[in-house]
Structure 1
Amino acid sequence: MSDDRLSETLTTRPATAAEVAGLVRRAQQDSLPITVVAGGHGPWSHSPSPGMRIELTEIAGIEIDGLALDGEDAVVHIGGGAVWGDVAARLGADGLAISSGDTATVGVGGLTLGGGIGWMVRAWGLAADQLIGAQIVTAAGELVETSADEHPDLFWALRGGGGNFGIVTRFDFRAHPVSGIAFGDHVISTDATRVLRATRDLMREAPREVTVTYMDVPPMDPSAPAGARLSAVWAENDIDALRSVMAPIAALDGVEAEYTTPAYRDILLQMPEPAEGAEPPGFIGGNGLFAELDDDLIDRLVAFRAAYPASVVFLRSLGGAYGDVGQAETAFPARTATWFVMAGGFDIPGLVDDETRERIRDDWRAIETGRLAEYGNFADTERPDAVPGMFRAEAFERLREIKRAWDPQNVFARNHNIAP
């Protein structure tokens, strides 16, 4: 094979799992590196890379295996190329839901394999916690079914270990019966410190039905309305229950609260498509899973957002069902964490100079000091040296063993790579 082939991108869009398996075997024969795109939202979705690019957009079916009865969960089968907006709409029509990502265009595959901290994480756990089985194409180009009973080590690795172990062409989930949700929007025009401390105290004893998200974004961020706001979701159509729980926050001066009962699909954000040829701005910062949102962490986050106009701070409450899962049951780290935190500045040429970049990095380093682990789904660049910090030490070693068993040649390396 010529060197030219190695420098080109061969884009493929298989329609069946068998076709995916054939493409993997072909890539192996031709020594082509493989990039897998499931959904098209993550950092590797839009940038071309040499080798074979396997896009799963044609494998996006959503099937319900019998409706839930008497409050029991239903089993649903979702194609590896589906996105969560379509899943929420389809399941919602039958009174079902799965806790998923925040944005409609987030792929089911990437989010689930990395864990999946969603709107109902305290009620139902991670997306990966709702996974009960999968169909996967291995590095050998074979189709394998996996679950807690079939190839259990592989199934364990899929629940938080990322895309290191194969191409998942079908996910099997438990979907939860739900008549609707209640949503609270708390717009903050006062000192965020008071609101965050009050929210932290509230969530220590809050029912698991409620999950809260804090965002403070600049006008230039297309993913959400500008400014600071605290959103709360109750995993049932009970607006009075949500209003009662959130009353201490709504009563604060400088907080304007509104409560509604939208469809779950309607609270998923719409990420606008970037202009053709436009590169998104760089991001300086990071994320972490924290045991506690203490006063020092709150102060640092509020000061960070105030210091850099083109910055974002994002927090989500954990606990509840998320913490019910034993640490060793999945590859996902930090089940004792009670908050997920992200902060960073947009690296916009002409607005951010070298000195400011270094100050942002220093401020983030001070924030991340107390984290238990980094959440891989929010890490948007390849940093091989950082991958061990996305797992507990014993889980990372187990993942390496499973990688050696299923992908000894590291065919699936275009991810937060766990080298065999």
Structure 2
Amino acid sequence: MEDVGAVEPVGGQPVNGSAASTVKGAASHDSQESTWSKEKKHFFILSSAGKPVYARYGEEADVSSYLGVAQAIISSFESSGDQIRCLNAGRHRFVFLNRNPLYLVVVSHTGESEAQLRSQLSLLYNQLLSIMTAPQITRLYSKRINFDLRRFLAGTDNLFDSLVDSLSSCSSMELKSIRCARLEAPVRSAITQALKSCRIKDIRYAAVFVNGRIASYSQPRSHPLHPFDLQILSNMVHTSTKYGAGETWTPLCLPRWNHTAFVNVYVNHLSPNVCVVALARDKDAFFALSAYQTKLTQVKSALRAYCYACLTSAVVASVADIGIPGLRHCMFRSTQSKQIAIAEPITYNEGDQQRLFGLYQHASGLLHARSAPIMVHYHTTATETLMAWSSASFELYAVFGPFISKSSVITAVNTLIRWIQKAEDALFVSRPLLF
């Protein structure tokens, strides 16, 4: 199969476009279909009856036809008591995730492994569960197998699209980690102390995000948030910031915390770049969150005391800050805290960034391979040299020019690790508020 667009529709039935939908309505033109088929990766969610629930690209008529193919393939395996997990066809890889009564499918020709794509489907499913709990979904489909779930997902396209786009461009998603804002130690300490002074008994989790990156947080010592839940929360914050929301109250299910119930999430944008997030487990905690809002002035005062204006600028490390000759880009992940710090390149265009992301994906796949994971990966292309290193306490990915020697790379990487250790408090939330 040369292209996913070459698959002939089998058994797909167009869906009534009048329903509110996370699949785009109206029939497509040939030019639109051609553009759609050129996308490198497609994500789909469908019901066991073949009803479309979500598709990142494409118009409704096209998506329905292709999902008819997917449903027929899945059913043919299930009828023989088996489940299809992965299908390779030419350059394309089809990965399936069965979460009855829903199926999730990704079609990709990016070179990502089955395990990587399956992990992305799991995160997409978690995004769905953050809007509707698993018991709710099961109950709806138990009453009517051909139920159209899109009516309950109206207005959530931006959440799904934002997550899917991040899966194809954000290394923190690939490494199941949360990205931290780079802040000087006194500033981060002031934010943490402000969270402590504002703490209310009913608040189970609170965090300050700066430019979409976490600056500090508080959480129960015995029940920390899972990285998947943090990514769902971060995606919601990113989406609300993108659309200019000032203050929101939202019920949200965090699947790894409790997939059967909602928590109340309060998001307050102190500025276009800075927001505070608070979670309360009790469904009747509206007034507790409202009281929390009145204490946020203390957070503002604390931030203002340590140059509040600095938080509205870029809080990202640059390779120029590190000062290692030949270093173009690097990424460091703390295994214990599941936090990630990235030093951005000085001059990389969008194409360079995508190529770099592909290198990191390939290296991460080798370091985390289930059958035979490796500890060190060294790879040279016509444009870059990459070294990836995995240990019990960290993962490091560093990119240099293509003509650097291996001995120089090893020396530079050791220097880089020493720099990260010295700058740990500025790069990571190393002292969160635990209670």
TM-score normalized by the length of structure 2:
0.25
TM-score normalized by the length of structure 1:
0.26
The higher relative CO (CA closer than 8 Å, separation ≥ 6) is in 1
Which protein is bigger by CA-based radius of gyration?
2
Q: Which has the higher helix share?
A: 2
